[in-house]
Amino acid sequence: DQQVKQNSPSLSVQEGRISILNCDYTNSMFDYFLWYKKYPAEGPTFLISISSIKDKNEDGRFTVFLNKSAKHLSLHIVPSQPGDSAVYFCAASDWATGTASKLTFGTGTRLQVTL
Amino acid sequence: NAGVTQTPKFQVLKTGQSMTLQCAQDMNHEYMSWYRQDPGMGLRLIHYSVGAGITDQGEVPNGYNVSRSTTEDFPLRLLSAAPSQTSVYFCASSYGGQKEETQYFGPGTRLLVL
């Protein structure tokens, strides 16, 4: 049973426009959420995170929004750049289990930013 | 600081062979984990360790063994490789003990089991 879902396998956006990547989760115990970016033949790299006590976190061009009642989070990239083309993974963890490092990942969304 | 390193980068095995995937980190992180990435499945946790001498199972532990004799190293052993273990394997580490913390990933080992 997929506890973290990314229903869009791919997304194509023009350079300069906004990219919106979505993620849904089913486990209400998740209290910390992360986005990772992955280029081919490389490991995932951390992008941005958000705690369940917040509904928004911003870092430069990247903003993550969390809607706890809907169990939904989204990553906004504004403006999108060609270098943003990668696979983006949503991940979640549950501190109550005492192992915040056990991440549950979504299946990823491949973002392509076109010129 | 090399971060998280993994060897080998690529390996081909025959069914039934054994091998060890190496992972090391030089950040003095307590927590280390192994994930596998398969098409359409995202990354799934195999085993993890919260410190030297302590390991536990993740979501997909069958067919894999781990040990953690030092803080720096966390090898993953395949005792008898199967084609279903064809995957890309990522090792990750983090400081541990914090509610909000980031895991740092290695570059991955691509394994093909024939």
Q: pLDDT digits over B84-108, tens only?
A: 999 999 999 998 767 677 889 999 9
Average pLDDT over residues A83-109: 87
CB-based contact B99 A32, cutoff 8 Å: yes
**pLDDT value of residue A50:** 94
CA distance A59 to B16: 48
Cis peptide upstream of residue B8 (ω within 30 degrees of 0): yes
CB-based contact B102 A99, cutoff 8 Å: no
CB-based contact B99 A31, cutoff 8 Å: yes
Using CB atoms, pick whichever of A43, A106, A107 lies closest to residue B107: A43
Whether the CB of A62 is below 8 Å from some CB of chain B: the reply is no
**B96 CB burial (10 A radius; 0-12, 13-18, 19+):** middle
Bridge partners of residue B91, in order along the sequence:
B34
Average pLDDT over residues B1-27: 96
Joined together, the tokens standing for residue A88 give 């983006």
Distance to chain A for B105, nearest Cα, Å: 6
